[in-house]
Structure 1
């Protein structure tokens, strides 16, 4: 049986050996939670005032406006505003094959401006998800570090007896080491629930990457000959027809994204939410023929297997998007605590290795040289 001293050793090693990477993943993950809001602050084209609720989004007007502004670059997808103060977004691809964004007023369809594909949201997502490395290696490395953080959390609970009593314990101020030790423990206690969530979902991402990906049964349907032969961009009339038919086949579907064909044999896919808890937008969808606007297939999140439901719940739980801006604010606050936890743990390791008495002031330069 591992005693408390060995647990403490493993806790310290798990934190200090990977401290830089762990800090980077936690910080970028914290900012990834609010990355869309950062883009909203830095790009005036994304802002809408007065606010507009999602059920008032005029999809045909947005699509028609996008085609009128640029009839050449194909539209890849249309996205609903994340919150009432966001503009609707249209994703396009230029002649070089590069993606870019356009923003439109959700009701009038008025064009508001452009945005780059590689914005703050993409930067923080790619940095956090796979460290800008090739996806297979990057995700594997990040998820394995999630396992390390999980071990650190468990060992932290073992080395602090009756840890549940420390949620409201004021940090001691008698010495630098005692203070930071109590602060580290306090941050760890209050952010432990978030660490558990992100570690478990990170482990799930790793399992999915290496073969446990959920299989979603695909319906077979026949597209029109033109849609089979080429990637068809729906006409304005066909697009309007598609939007008007969505309620017939998927009642109460709040449209979040509309994906248009990029390759031959692809359909128009309307995705969204219907009240089912903890699912991505793609979990509910309706497919239509891009030429005739005829109904092809549909998918209900509530009718999927348990394996699929776990897979669909991973992103909402990992990034805290399940309750909009409110859950994201909670995730951001405790993400800051988690980042501070990693930094304070590294500092404590340095203090411990200076081997000074608690009553003697510690020089910062000594701490970092010794660590």
Structure 2
């Protein structure tokens, strides 16, 4: 294809799904910092002055949680996202619905509670699958991701010597030239992130349609799997298990999963020096009755298929480097949002023959873009409307206590 044909398809791929593209990029950018948004909104999550992760007193938190509520089962205990976050305890209420409690990581003092469906859940679910059943929602989002991927690739074919444009100042001759240069600049600087999220998005599509990886089954004694009702783990057994972790694994604890009605286990998950894996890739499992060691999982010993699957989330959301990579992803995610918006506006400018002395050029350019989207704008608006309706239903019908 020549440059003109590449431009035509680049323009069509961007404009036809522009509403959905903008929405998915916006929710994805906010999903990156969604934990921090909850931290700002809910004072119970804050720990100031901050406490280093290495100083978390898991036993005190567990003991305090049992004193705070001796009847509501504890599903898991999650390490702070960063040093200024509280330890998060996930509990089940009488309706067996999850909710959150927050404890000081050093003293174990109870700080307050929060809903299961918070802002972090809202932005992640909106971005990942539009609140729809996973297989349908992920498929829709990933198809939009394929359109963005094509726009990315085609963009390099329509920009001559694109590698020289990273520090080229936008020209201010006229609106069309200015926004064209801005659009190119946004695209060049954010291309690495767009490539990353598109490739991981393609992997999510493969996973949801049957290509997902599974960890090798861990050998658990039959006695620990028999459904016999929930047996609460004593503080002594809990402390024994946590202190034993270092014997079997070089694990930085991130999550402790407590026993369920079907499995009498304490599952300790976390990170070691293995790059780009989720917390679940490493674990040590103990008997929840006596605290004895049962088995473990080591991330770097997993198959290539599993390692690819585990790398998808850290790369897609930029959590692999803590707050620093999250800030980086948020900044360049914002540039991607600007890229999508400027591309839509530029389409309108190019398809509306304006004159320098004409008023309301911007309004008329946006109208031209709206018309250029065609019938797909209604599909995009319907899908986004369904998302908000489902979100309203889910978030208002979920019982907290």
TM-score exceeds 0.5: yes
Q: Which residue in 1 is equivalent to 2:258?
A: 260
Asked if the contact 1:224/1:289 (under 8 Å) is kept, the reply is no
Assess, with a 3 A threshold, how the Cα gap between structure 1 residues 266 and 137 changes in structure 2: closer, same or farther. Answer: farther
Partner of 2:325, secondary structure, is helix
**Distance 1:341-1:25 versus aligned 2 partners, 3 A rule:** same
Q: CA deviation at 1:257?
A: 0.3
Contact in 1 for aligned 2:172/2:178 (Cα 8 Å): yes
- Cα distance in 2, alignment partners of residues 132 and 215 from structure 1: 25
Partner of 1:281: 279
The aligned runs of 1:2-81 (5 Å cut-off) are 2-81=1-80
Query: Paired residue for 2:208?
Result: 209
Determine whether 1:237 maps to 2:242: no
Q: CA deviation at 1:231?
A: 3.2
Residue matched to 1:117:
116
Counterpart check, 1:108 vs 2:87: no
- Indicate the residue corresponding to 2:398 in structure 1: none
Matches within 5 A, 1:1-371: 2-222=1-221, 224=223, 228-250=227-249, 252-356=250-354, 363-371=361-369
Q: Secondary structure at the match of 1:229?
A: coil
Distance between the aligned counterparts of 1:186 and 1:52, measured in 2?
41
Once the two structures are TM-superposed, the CA of residue 248 in structure 1 deviates from its matched residue by 1.1
Deviation at 1:230, TM superposition (A): 2.6
Q: Which whole-Å deviations, capped at 9, do the CAs of 1:178-222 have from their partners, x for residues lacking one?
A: 000000000000000000000000000110111111121112221
Partner Cα distance (2:136, 2:3) in 1 = 34
Could you tell me how far 1:361 is from its partner in structure 2?
A: 6.3
What is the Cα deviation at residue 91 of structure 1?
0.5
Structure 2: gaps spanning 5 or more residues: 370-401
Compute the displacement of 1:223 (Å).
5.0
**Could you give the per-residue CA deviations for residues 260-281 of structure 1, whole angstroms, max 9, x where no partner exists?**
1233135211000111111101
CA contact (8 A) 1:227 1:291 kept: no
Q: CA deviation at 1:358?
A: 6.6
- SS of equivalent residue, structure 1 residue 169: coil
TM-score (structure 2 length as normaliser)? 0.89
User: Would the aligned equivalents of 1:269 and 1:288 in 2 still touch at CA under 8 Å?
Assistant: yes
Per the alignment, do residues 346 and 225 of structure 1 end up closer, same or farther by CA in structure 2, a change over 3 Å counting? closer
Matched-pair contact (CA < 8 Å) for 1:224–1:292: no
Separation in 2, partners of 1:30, 1:265: 37
The answer as to whether partners of 1:180 and 1:348 remain within 8 angstroms in 2 is: yes
Number of residue pairs matched?
A: 369
User: Is contact 1:278–1:316 with CA below 8 Å preserved after alignment?
Assistant: yes
Distance 1:91 1:158, change over 3 A: same
Superposed CA offset, 1:50-82 (max 9, x none) = 211111111111011111111111101000111
Alpha-carbon spacing, 1:229–1:369, altered in 2? closer, same or farther (3 Å): same
Q: Deviations over 1:285-306 (max 9, x none)?
A: 0011111211111000011111
Relative to the length of structure 1, the TM-score reads 0.96
Q: Is the 8 A contact 1:180 1:344 kept in 2?
A: yes
Q: CA deviation at 1:97?
A: 1.9
Question: Hey, what's the Cα distance between the residues in 2 that align with 1:168 and 1:359?
Answer: 31
Change (3 A) 1:226 1:273: closer
Q: Is the 8 A contact 2:225 2:264 kept in 1?
A: no
* CA drift at 1:229: 2.1
Where does structure 1 lack aligned partners over 5 or more consecutive residues? none
2:390 alignment counterpart: none
Contact preservation (8 Å) 1:178, 1:358: no
